[in-house]
Amino acid sequence: MVTNNNVIDSSTAKGWLNPTGGNPNPIGTDNYTKDFFKFAVVGTGAVNLTLNAGGQWLQDGVASPGMTFRGSFNILDSVGNIVATGSEGLSTFTSNWSGNLAVGDYTVETFNYGGMTSNEDSLASYFTSGSYFYTGSIEAVPEPATMAAMAFGLLALARKRRSKK
């Protein structure tokens, strides 16, 4: 995920999830494609992610009307373990997670909830594919020990350059 001053760039953190080609059944998470985004936490920092259904064709960062995607996300650690899962918003067109993550590399796995059924016709089921984008922030603040190590390394480099003169 690309960030600008710790704010997620919603123009690049976006995608579209489709039904998989092999199974025409709209019900089931595995019947849809998934998308993945990587990010790193350099120090202990706050992460605030919101998955927004729909495109943002009319205004950057705001979902355009006519959305049909209902999804959520998992945050995976560097070995693929789920460390956090988005919670569906009241409108069912957003999913959110806020918390702190330890130093490391992470992957956001975006997935579809897996279709919908009709309350009126028990035989009817509907695809919930479509576009989405992320908003939020990833605060990657170096820990004091990391900053001290960086400063020590720069100091050592400066001393080495002076001794060569």
3-state secondary structure of 73: strand
Task: Give me the chain's average pLDDT, please.
Answer: 78
- Backbone φ and ψ for 86, nearest 5 degrees, come out as -65, 145
DSSP single-letter state for residue 101:
E
At 28-73, the pLDDT tens digits run: 788 788 999 998 887 668 899 999 988 777 777 777 777 777 889 9
Give the CATH number of domain 3-164. 2.60.120.380
* Nearest one of 106, 131, 127 to 49, comparing CA atoms: 106
Return all residues near 92 (Cβ < 8 A) that are at least 6 apart.
70
Residues facing residue 131 across a β-bridge: 16
Domain boundaries of the chain, sorted by first residue: 3-164
At 80-101, the pLDDT tens digits run: 999 999 998 877 788 999 999 9
- Backbone φ and ψ for 79, nearest 5 degrees, come out as -105, 5
Helices (H), the chain: 144-164
